[in-house]
Structure 1
């Protein structure tokens, strides 16, 4: 355990599982106090909190359904009420709905629109709620996707659009918050071993063919992506802002 984030408070949205849980644990292992949000998995969220406390961190889980934009301000209020400050926001929460082409006559528009609501508008709402109340010198990291900038197969237009929208938004927020030395960056992972990836695996082309397109022929580990997020939140990244960092084993180069 290190003290890189000693005295810092981080909010990781969607922190009850997958990359969000791994990121929360990585911050706790480096001394941060951690709040995680979750939409429905209360038991999983409390299990993550127990792990964080075992690492010596103060930790809480807050129910906040990102599809409901009105929950953003109460989420930030709850963090500040518990810890008195907010230094780092990791906009990790999101969903993946893929598989239908835009010209598919059976395309479920409401389902795909919900993805835009969660991935884009929900992240924007959280950022707007947090930004005025964050500590100067703070950090905002968005979790995007390599599919945001490289689209090698059909049926992912809406998902790709939601993730690329975050990259553009982050650049603008970096401009807005730069005078307060708050940095804003995007991490774009490739395939990761998450429940969400498993849920959409059957809707994607052959997995082996996708891996063959990676110079480093494997998927990312949650731990290495989480550590990259921690790097961007740490003292060595204070002059990196408005950037999009691909972490996909060379996919799309």
Structure 2
């Protein structure tokens, strides 16, 4: 019943998000992405992002792209919700870091196909299994870089906070986390990229989106269509990377 509850809730969230993204007219979505790229980055990034999304629409892959975004949004959200607190625990305890480091090493070297197994075991075929596989595959960078960012905070700054009587929680929330945000954002950026890279593999367990378009085209020996769908994934990766990197740079400054 526990896994059934998780599966049902994730299906509802994925379904509502997918319906919303598909419902929004594509010119409105393109305009929103342009504004997002412009405000978070620059006018050039906004224009490139908008042109990239228009290109995806022109090759008739808009709806699969929105499905991919829905799955990726849920997966990255879950990865960040669990990844950042785990990274904080690693930064606060050398014992936890020692225990988790080999686990993260194994997770990052394991073939991506392996992550499909627990998803199928617990949730069967479908989008929920794809979300679990994507979370497991993409969460290590978020954990590692959160840990690294907090540990790289200048010790003199931490000592200054302690001299003013700050508690451990105050030091974490008002000193260490704010100074570690650029590194944490870099970890989130890598998590997003790995989640998008997993989209084609996740299609093997029934996930929709651009990944299934690639697999279907390859199965029908339609190499041109497979190349177009794969190129759409690349375009989305470039757009997301440019926007998130702009956030990292602005935070660093």
Please tell me the TM-score bracket, short chain as reference. Answer: under 0.3
- Of structures 1 and 2, the larger Rg is shown by 2
Give the structure-2-normalised TM-score: 0.26
